[in-house]
Amino acid sequence: MQATTMNFLIEPITHDTIVIRVGKALDFRNAADFKAAAQEQVRNGIRSFVLDFTDTGILDSTGLGSIFSLYRQVSPMSGQVVFASVSRPVQVVVQLTRTYKVFRQFPSVEAAREALR
């Protein structure tokens, strides 16, 4: 079942894994909303996050910072944050900041879903 939290579509995969559809932009305008939505999921026991960047045309430094915040929160709890269906604008940021060393990437949400199930 899908749910929308603060403009981010969230889809459960297992009891502790979800997909967050990032949408058109994750930047300084909605990074706080993303952080709040992710924190709520962590409070609910979610530890692994698949971020779906299929439609994402903007990922800026503040948006990336909100993903780092989530990573810092879940990694001590053996959680993980992975990227799926990374669009070109997001890939450019990933390459520029070398965050490919931190966040595993999958060509599709389905591939990430299978890997994390």
Where on the chain is the footprint of other proteins (CB under 8 A)?
Answer: 27-29, 57-58, 60-62, 64-66, 68-69, 71-72, 88-89, 92-93, 96-97, 102
Number of residues that make up the chain: 117
Nearer to other proteins, 46 or 64 (CB): 64
What minimum distance in Å lies between the beta carbon of 18 and other proteins?
A: 21
Kindly state the smallest distance separating residue 95's Cβ from other proteins, in Å: 8
Give 13 or 93: the residue with its C-beta nearer to other proteins: 93
How far apart, in whole angstroms, are the C-alpha atoms of residue 79 and residue 99?
Answer: 17
| CA separation for the pair 51, 41 (Å, rounded) | 13
Report, in this order, helix, strand and coil percent for the chain, each rounded to 5: 45, 25, 30
- Distance in Å, CB of 89 to other proteins, minimum: 5
Ramachandran area for residue 3 (φ above 0: left; ψ -120 to 50: alpha; else beta):
beta
Return the number of the residue (80 or 113) whose C-beta is nearest other proteins: 80
